[in-house]
């Protein structure tokens, strides 16, 4: 399985260790999960943007006074 070495300052490592301990995880597991969560977050945001763009015209039509229509500045 691939792995990597990551460098931290003493202060950074202290903070990361504290965060891992707060979640009840080893440092290795915490850093692994952090990377996976960030990847999943980016996928979710990209999907949410696509979904909102697809429904934007419908929203603008249904709620014309809520926000400026798509493509118009505030």
Predicted TM-score of the model (pTM): 0.66
pLDDT digits (tens, 9 = 90+) for 17-70: 999 999 999 999 999 999 999 999 999 999 999 999 999 889 888 988 887 666
- The pLDDT value recorded for residue 69 is 60
- The pLDDT value recorded for residue 36 is 97
Distances (CA, A) of 46 to 36, 40, 54, 71, 72: 16, 10, 12, 19, 22
């Amino acid at each position: 399985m691939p792995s990597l070495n990551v460098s931290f300052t003493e202060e950074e490592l202290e903070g990361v260790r504290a965060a891992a301990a707060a979640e009840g995880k080893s440092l290795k597991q915490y850093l692994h999960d952090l990377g996976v969560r960030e990847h999943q977050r980016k996928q979710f945001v990209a999907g949410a943007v696509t979904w909102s763009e697809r429904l934007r015209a419908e929203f603008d039509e249904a709620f014309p006074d809520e926000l400026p229509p798509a493509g118009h500045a505030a």
